[in-house]
Structure 1
Amino acid sequence: MSHLSSQTRSKLLGETIRDAIRFETAFDPDPFAGLSLPDAYGVQAEVFHALDQPFKGSKLTLKGDVCHSAPLFWVAEGDRHAFRPGVSLEVELAFVLGKDIATGSGPVTRLDVVDAIASVHIGVEFLRSRYAGGSRRDPALAAADMMSNAGYILGPLLHRQLLDEGASIGPLSIAIDGQAVFDKPATHVDGDPLKTVTVLANQAPLSSFSMLKAGQVLTTGSLCGLIPIGEPARVDVNMAGQQFVLSLS
């Protein structure tokens, strides 16, 4: 595939990811290795728009000093959702913006980010890589595949004190059909779960999506790691004084 132009390879990758999402399949990403980051974000946008989903928020992650992002495929509330084969989940903190985070008019501080957040929730992210064997730790391939996002559930409201710098989330327990799969203190890979949002607000955009707007949901990383869900199940999440019981059927 190296003989194809970058534009043709990007178009083919986008079509293949789109079909893998629609038909719940996976494909070998190796022929697409070497994708540039700008091309990856172009693929990401094309795939998302082709699937005709409203843009309701983003997942964010730090790669060195740069924030990478992907749209959340869908965002929903409630405790009953359809089970999908091959899907795993992560429990996260979800932040709902009450107003825009103003960018481009000077440095954005952590306090500016906190001020823009209307509410904090338990978040449950569904993930399924469209690549057989994953993205090969390739940031561009990961971005093109929307960082494996397969949907997002906004759970119960949590206390705003979790936005305080250095705040402890406390214990996190997760059970699948009554069997404990995680029972440890919740920890965020960045230490501060708002660090990535602050970085995004201060960097040149990589994505064409209009992010950091009022009403959008932001999530910045797992508190538990990836948890496979092999069949329809009941998922019990206990965190920060709240319980969330999710039925996947």
Structure 2
Amino acid sequence: MMDMDKLGECILAARLDGKMPAQTEHWFGSTDIDDAYNVQNIVLGEIGRRRNTKVIGRKVGCTNQSARDLLGLDGPFHGALLSDTAMASPARIARSDYPFIVLEPEFALRLGKPLGPESAPHTAESVAGAVDAVLPALEIVSSCHTDWTRTGPALVIADNGSSYGWVHGAPVTDWDVDSLMNAEVTLHVDGEQIATGNAGNVDGGPLGVLAWLADRVLLPAGAIVSTGTTTSVHFGDRGERVEARFGKFGEVSVEIV
């Protein structure tokens, strides 16, 4: 990827100054993943400075084949969860605040112990003991690019993995591996069930996704990792109330106004 600074400027102009869509067509189709993460770090640093927000954890995207098919990618990627766009359920968001809204029901894992590449390779079994709570969540996915389904992996990654918000339920500390890895999930719009899924819909289950991330990123104690959509995604619109139900792990809802 060329002109990393320029790409970062284009994304930040869209994200922070409302200059949507970002003028990023020049980079469409790039697969330079290392450079993309460098741009992501630049973008996150400037967002943190200007919005006085901090990274509270990570999101992992494209952790199942349906999500990879939607974006034309061949593997997962990661971005950051930010304190100023994390909301407790029930939440209310404005449709006008986002280029578009895609809602993804996800299991999030809160770490009681640090994890990172220095002790790689990790497995689902080896990371389980580091998790002190499971949270039900809806990730709010959007994009500053003109057509996020054809940008290629680099632009998705550079735009913080298309993560624009995160709604969470109460942390569940009384959990076990079997109940998490076999948990069922349903997605509802205005009370009508529109999709079903389960924790096994993400690669290796939520703990497998955490292991993939811990092989690549330093995760401090207290970090939250949202592990990818467990059902088909929902393109949200104004006037809807969207709810995800995670069985014993609780519920999370968002109203779009």
Which bin holds the TM-score, normalised by the shorter protein?
0.7 to 0.9
| Residue 106 (structure 1) shift | 5.8
Give the equivalent residue in structure 1 for 2:90. 79
1:41-74 per-residue CA deviation (whole Å, 9 max, x = no partner) reads: 1111111111122011111246999763211243
Structure having the higher Rg: 1
What's the TM-score once normalised by structure 1's chain length? Answer: 0.81
Which of 146, 155, 169 is 2:183 aligned to? 169
* Structure with the larger helix share: 2
Give the equivalent residue in structure 2 for 1:247. 255
1:65-144 to structure 2, matched below 5 A, reads 68-73=77-82, 74-85=85-96, 86-101=100-115, 103-105=117-119, 107-136=121-150, 138-144=152-158
1:111-150 per-residue CA deviation (whole Å, 9 max, x = no partner) reads: 3311111100111100101111115262212110112110
Are the structure 2 counterparts of residues 107 and 88 from structure 1 closer, same or farther at C-alpha, using a change threshold of 3 Å?
closer
State, as a whole percentage, how many aligned pairs show the same letter.
25
What's the TM-score once normalised by structure 2's chain length? Answer: 0.79
Give the equivalent residue in structure 2 for 1:17. 11
- Structure 1 window deviating more from structure 2 (60-69 vs 35-44): it is 60-69
Are the structure 2 counterparts of residues 216 and 106 from structure 1 closer, same or farther at C-alpha, using a change threshold of 3 Å?
closer
Task: Kindly report the root-mean-square deviation, in angstroms, between the aligned alpha carbons of the 2 structures.
Answer: 2.8
| Residue 179 (structure 1) shift | 3.3
Matched position secondary structure for 2:104: strand
Amino acid at match of 2:175: R
Give the equivalent residue in structure 2 for 1:26. 21
* Rounded Cα–Cα distance in structure 2 between residues aligned with 1:177 and 1:24: 32
Check conservation: 1:187, 1:224, Cα contact below 8 A.
Answer: no
Aligned residue pairs, count: 235
| Residue 103 (structure 1) shift | 4.0
* Rounded Cα–Cα distance in structure 1 between residues aligned with 2:182 and 2:234: 22
* Rounded Cα–Cα distance in structure 2 between residues aligned with 1:57 and 1:130: 21
Are the structure 2 counterparts of residues 152 and 243 from structure 1 closer, same or farther at C-alpha, using a change threshold of 3 Å?
closer
Are the structure 2 counterparts of residues 109 and 179 from structure 1 closer, same or farther at C-alpha, using a change threshold of 3 Å?
closer
1:67-114 per-residue CA deviation (whole Å, 9 max, x = no partner) reads: 632112432323123223321210000101112125414643433311
Amino acid at match of 2:190: D
Give the equivalent residue in structure 1 for 2:235. 228
- Which segments of 5 or more consecutive residues in structure 1 lack a partner in the other structure? 206-210
